[in-house]
Amino acid sequence: MTTAVTSWRRAASIAPVVLFLALLTVPTFAGEYVLHLCVLILLYAYLATAWNILGGYTGQHSLGHSLFLGIGAYTSTYLFSRFAVSPWIGMWAGAVLAAAVGAFVGYLCFRYGLKGAYFALVTIALTEAAVYLVNNMDFLGGAQGMEVKWLGDHPEIMQFPGKAGYYYVILVMAALSILLTQWISERRFGYRMIAVRENEEAAEALGVDTLRTKIQATVLSAFLTALGGSFFAQYFTYINPRNVFGETPAVQILLFAIIGGLGTVWGPAVGALALVPIAELARSRLGGSFAGAHLLLYGAVLMLVMLFMPNGIVGVAARVRLRLPGRKQPAPEAT
């Protein structure tokens, strides 16, 4: 290995730290709207990163991850409204509940060998069932949903006067999720997940407990997604069954991971960064006459990516970098 490559690598390992420090300064110069955009980018980057652990690394595509988003959002909001429990605590309760549900769902699905489209269908059915279930639960506000009561400037209950507070919270969450993914991907657990994705029979033959790996990935992914759900509720201060459970949030969770690059550390964040600003611009400019502008855009991008670059933005970038001298072969790409 040449020195040039070694120093290039050292620079690459410092870059994320520099990026994080730079992002910390954003609220000092950015206006409220730009901050709002940044919060959305980071929130979707975070959620997609959480989904990516199960969908990208382990290869089990959940089309109903909104189930966990909703559990997180409803748990912290319910605990806050009913028992005045701070969302800082409630979010962990939601995450634990989501992890338990994830373990149960994962166990049931994978115990009976569900995979591919069938697993996707079960997850959709679960989150759709959750919509109708919560619609009929009066203590959760039914179809009207729940409001997070605004009490003013109270950081101890995750309520901030401006966007900056929320920005710091979700920035740290997103950074930690990426760090966690990076850490896992170099550990035994990460290799087990990739082995399951690439060839389950072979992994099993080599002694990987594939059932356990898949359940662990589901639990971790559900746990993280639910934390994001609590933030979602605090930031938007209103939730209802359709906007946290159901199809649209489910698609929005997985979309950026697929567009950015499945099973890559940075893919979900890159996907969110590439797409959220355009989508939000479309929504704010055309929203009045054209309510679904951002969803239309998401659909079109999803189709185009599947047709022309199924490995996502990072997948294409990796292939380009392959041509540079001195780089080792990248890990097998997600499919």
Partner 1 sequence: MIFSPELLAQAMVTGLFIGGVFALISVGLSLIWGVMRIVNFAHGEFLMIGMYVAYFLVARGGWDPYLTMLVTVPALFLIGAGIFQVSIRPILKNPPMNQIMLTVGLSLILQNLALVFFKADVLTAQTPYSRLTWVIGPVIIRVSQLIAFVGSGITAAVLYWFLRNTDTGRAIRAASQNREAATLMGIDVQRTFLLAFGIGSACLGVAASLMIPFYYTSPTVGLFFGLIAFVVVVLGGLGNFLGALVAGLIIGLTESVGAALLPGTLARVLTFGIFILVLLFRPQGIFGGKRL
Q: What's the DSSP call for residue 145?
A: -
Listed residue (278, 324, 313, 322) closest to 297, CA to CA = 278
Rounded to the nearest 10 degrees, how much is the dihedral formed by the CA atoms of 97, 98, 99, 103?
100
Provide φ and ψ at 182, rounded to 5°: -60, -45
| Residue 302: CB minimum distance to partner 1, A | 3
Rounded CA-CA distance 51/231 in Å is 16
Distance from chain centroid for Cα 92: 17
Contact flags string 95-134 toward partner 1, x per CB under 8 A: -------------xx--x-x-xxx-xxx-xxx-xx--xx-
Rounded CA-CA distance 335/331 in Å is 12
| Residue 182: CB minimum distance to partner 1, A | 24
| Residue 250: CB minimum distance to partner 1, A | 9
Q: Which of residues 302-331 bind partner 1 (CB under 8 A)?
A: 302-303, 306-307, 310
203 membership: H or E segment, kind and range: helix 200-205
Over the Cα atoms of the chain, what is R_g?
20
CB neighbours of residue 328 within 10 Å = 8
Contact flags string 184-223 toward partner 1, x per CB under 8 A: ----------------------------------------
In the complex with partner 1, which residue's Cβ is closer, 147 or 247? 247
Sole binder of partner 1 in the list 38, 63, 233, 279 (CB under 8 A): 63
- Residues in contact with partner 1, counted by CB under 8 A, come to a total of 40
Which pair of tokens denotes residue 129? 């069932």
In the complex with partner 1, which residue's Cβ is closer, 110 or 160? 110
| Residue 296: CB minimum distance to partner 1, A | 4
In the complex with partner 1, which residue's Cβ is closer, 36 or 283? 283
Mode of pairing for the β-strands spanning 238-239 and 146-147: antiparallel
In the complex with partner 1, which residue's Cβ is closer, 6 or 335? 335
| Residue 254: CB minimum distance to partner 1, A | 8
Which pair of tokens denotes residue 146? 């729940």
Q: Is the dihedral of CA 228, 61, 268, 279 positive or negative?
A: negative
In the complex with partner 1, which residue's Cβ is closer, 159 or 311? 311
Q: Which of residues 277-306 bind partner 1 (CB under 8 A)?
A: 290-293, 295-296, 298-303, 306
End-to-end CA distance of the chain: 30
Sole binder of partner 1 in the list 27, 52, 61, 270 (CB under 8 A): 61
Whether residue 37 contacts residue 162, with contact meaning beta carbons closer than 8 Å, is answered with: no
| Residue 129: CB minimum distance to partner 1, A | 4
In the complex with partner 1, which residue's Cβ is closer, 171 or 196? 196
Rounded CA-CA distance 183/258 in Å is 21
Interface ranges with partner 1 (CB under 8 A): 61, 63, 108-109, 112, 114, 116-118, 120-122, 124-126, 128-129, 132-133, 135-136, 247, 251, 258, 290-293, 295-296, 298-303, 306-307, 310, 335
